Amino acid sequence: MHTKLQFLENLLLSIRSSSNDKIVIVSNFTSTLDNIEIFMQAKGYSFLRLDGSTAVKDRTGLVKTFNESKECFAFLLSSKAGGVGLNLIGANRLVLLDPDWNPANDQQALARVWRPGQINPVYIYRLVGARTIEEKILQRQAYKATLAQEFVDMQASSVRCYVRGDIRKLLSCELAGTAPRNVCRHSGPYSVDEPDQSCVVEPHSHANGSPPPSWIEGFCLPFFDDLDRLQLLVRLN
C-alpha cells in the first residue's frame, strides 16, 4: 500500500499542477479508503467519499455535488457500494487501487467516469503490486475475459477446463500473457497519460524527498471494448 500511496501522491500532484481534471479513487476495501482519506486530508486535497456506510438518501447529493463543484478534486468510492449506477462524469480520471476476482465488478467500477455526457479525455489507472496475489487476480481476470470473448465469438480454441499447467501458472508469480509490449523508458516524473502506450516509467524523486519505487511498469490488458483501451495497468515494485 505504501508504494501505491507514493504513486498516487505523484499522480495527484501532476494532475493539479498541469490541469483542472478531477479524479475518482476506487477500492474494494473501506480500510484502504480510510488510509487514502487520511492521506488526502494531510495533503489538503478536497474530496468526497461514498461507501457502504453512506446513507442511500445522501448518495445522489454527493454525486451531484462532485459533478458540479469545481473545488472538489477527488471522489473516494467503494466499488461494492458505488460500482454500479453512479454517474461521475465530473471526473475524467480514475484510479483502481486493487483488483476484484470478478472482472465484471472492476469493469463496472471503471465505467463510472466513462459515461454518456463525458466530454473530456478519460484516463484510467489500475494499480497492481508486483509479485503479489494481485497479479494472480489480474491473471485470472484476463483468463476469464478471454474465455468469455472466445465463447461469444464461438471460437473453437476456447479452453474449457483447467489442466495441470494452468494450476502451475496460477501458483507461480508470473503474469502470463500480459507482459509489457514495446517497452520504452522515461526519465521524467510519473506520466501515464497515454493508456494505449505500453511503457516502463522510471520516476524522479518524490516531492517530499523520499525515493521513488524502484520501477513502475505500465502495460495494457487485452482490448475487448472502448473501456479497455482507456486503461493503463501500473505494476508497482
CATH assignment at residue 217 = 3.40.50.300
Residue tagged 445522501 (cell numbers): 58
Q: Quick one: which of 54, 55, 105, 57 has its CA closest to 76?
A: 54
Characterize the bridge pairing of strands 93-96 and 74-78: unpaired
175 within 8 A of 138, measured Cβ to Cβ:
yes
- Cβ-proximal residues to 61 (8 Å cutoff; 6+ apart), any chain: none
Q: What whole-number distance in Å separates Cα of residue 87 and Cα of residue 68?
A: 12
**pLDDT score recorded for residue 122:** 86
Residue 103's pLDDT is: 78
Q: Provide the number of structural domains found in the chain.
A: 1
Q: Is residue 165 part of a domain?
A: no
Range of the domain at 26: 2-133+174-229
Digit-by-digit pLDDT tens for the chain (237 residues) are: 678 888 889 899 999 988 999 999 999 999 999 999 999 999 999 999 999 899 989 999 999 999 999 899 999 999 888 756 788 999 999 999 988 888 778 888 888 888 888 888 888 888 887 778 887 887 777 777 666 666 666 544 444 555 556 555 555 544 444 433 332 333 333 344 444 333 333 333 333 343 333 333 343 344 344 555 556 667 665
**Within a domain: residue 71?**
yes
Provide the pLDDT for residue 172. Answer: 54
